[in-house]
Amino acid sequence: MNATIYDVSRLSGVSTATVSRAFSEPGRVRAETLRRVYEAAEALHYHPNAIARAMARQRTDKIAYLICKKGATILDEFYAGICDGIMRTANRSDYQLLVSTEEDWRLTVSAGQSKQIEGVILGGNAQPEMISGFQSQNVQVVLVNNNIAGVPCVVADEAGGVGQVVDHLADRGHRHIAMLVGRVNPYVVRERYGAFLAAMAQRGLPVGPADVRMCDADVDSATEAASELLQGRDRPTAIVGGNDVVAAGVIKAARRLGMRLPEDLAVTGYDDSAVCPMLEPELTSVHIDCRQMGELAVARLTALLDGESEIPPLTVVPTLLRVRRST
């Protein structure tokens, strides 16, 4: 049988009102009384009702995680990894977590207050009007996998990841390296494209007008774009895929052209998704610790909700190149 507030009251020798106050407003209870209440609660394995505590503090203790990506579902591998970190951290706290896509959220609620959330983590391409809409209702906002000034953001080290890729390929003797970028989150595209140009320049490697191409972020579009790139007059010896799906399209195109990998062409991806070990050859890719990104996003949000003033505007999570047989 679960212990109640009355059991704690009897064991600690104080009133039920004092027990309630010890958990909801501990600053109003004497230290010795707090010790007695907490010792009794621990002995009885008593856990105060989270909803009751929230009501006492006039807070809902509800936060939300919205995936802001066109056509996304909560099963999207990258954002599901972030969600794992968010859920693990939220479950260790008193916060109730709502998870949704931006599209579903807009269909079911016109404003954050109607869901009574206090804070929200927006993953991906969150639009400024959505951010300002939450802020206008005093809902605290943290961005993950995006960077907008004035909002705490948690991102992966895109420059470091792309730099590791270029260094890895250059160290293997590649001098003509191209990049194929999928049209995904504009922030991610911008960061990875800029990082590629910077890393190539640092290595003293030229990037020609035809060496960087855009395509839709699906295998068919990437296969078509890679085929054109590989059938050009000056064919690259390595292609950096903007993500793993694009890299899969590059491998498919190379196979159709009778090329050997990595002897005739080296291919890399980005995100280190589940598809990497399934491809032949297995795909070299940049690993992002999505779970850590989610954990840090919750940490930044709870700091905002607790009224902390010194919150980092930008938190960067390190990336790691995982080398496999495609290079």
Give the pLDDT confidence of 288-300 residue by residue, as tens digits: 999 999 999 999 9
Joined tokens for residue 245: 């799906």
| CA neighbor of 142 nearest in space, from 153, 131, 150 | 153
**Are 201 and 243 in a shared domain?**
yes
Please check whether residue 208 lies inside any domain of the structure.
yes
Mean pLDDT over 278-297 rounds to: 97
**Are 146 and 36 in a shared domain?**
no
Give the pLDDT confidence of 209-234 residue by residue, as tens digits: 899 999 999 999 999 999 999 998 88
Structure pTM? 0.81
Phi, psi of 181 (to 5 degrees): -110, 130
**Are 246 and 134 in a shared domain?**
no
**Are 77 and 43 in a shared domain?**
no
Neighbours of 209 (CB within 10 A): 5
- CATH number, domain with residue 15: 1.10.260.40
Please check whether residue 324 lies inside any domain of the structure.
no
Mean pLDDT over 86-96 rounds to: 86
**Are 265 and 296 in a shared domain?**
no
**Are 267 and 164 in a shared domain?**
yes
Q: What DSSP string describes 177-216?
A: EEEEEES--HHHHHHHHHHHHHHHHHTT----TTSEEEE-
Phi, psi of 75 (to 5 degrees): -90, -5
At 323, is the secondary structure helix, strand, or coil? coil
Residues ≥6 apart with Cβ < 8 Å to 171: none
Confidence category of residue 260, pLDDT binned at 50, 70, 90: very high
Dmax (CA) of the chain: 87
Q: Identify the domain containing residue 69 by its residue range.
A: 62-155+291-318
Please check whether residue 218 lies inside any domain of the structure.
yes
Residue found under tokens 């059938």 = 231
Domain limit, last residue, from 18, 40, 56:
56
**Are 257 and 174 in a shared domain?**
yes
- CATH number, domain with residue 203: 3.40.50.2300
Phi, psi of 213 (to 5 degrees): -130, 150
Please check whether residue 297 lies inside any domain of the structure.
yes
Please check whether residue 284 lies inside any domain of the structure.
yes
Please check whether residue 222 lies inside any domain of the structure.
yes
Please check whether residue 326 lies inside any domain of the structure.
no
**Are 101 and 174 in a shared domain?**
no
The mean of the pLDDT values for the chain is: 90
Q: In what order do the strands lie in the sheet with 212-215?
A: 212-215, 177-182, 238-241, 266-271, 284-288, 319-322
Confidence category of residue 34, pLDDT binned at 50, 70, 90: confident
Joined tokens for residue 229: 């790139």
**For residue 262, is the peptide bond before it cis, meaning its omega torsion is within 30 degrees of 0?**
yes
Please check whether residue 252 lies inside any domain of the structure.
yes
* Secondary structure E strands in 2-68: 62-68
Give the pLDDT confidence of 164-184 residue by residue, as tens digits: 999 999 999 999 999 999 998
Joined tokens for residue 95: 């916060």
**Are 168 and 271 in a shared domain?**
yes
**Are 71 and 138 in a shared domain?**
yes
Domain count along the chain: 3
**Are 118 and 207 in a shared domain?**
no
**Are 122 and 218 in a shared domain?**
no
pLDDT surpasses 70 at 44: yes
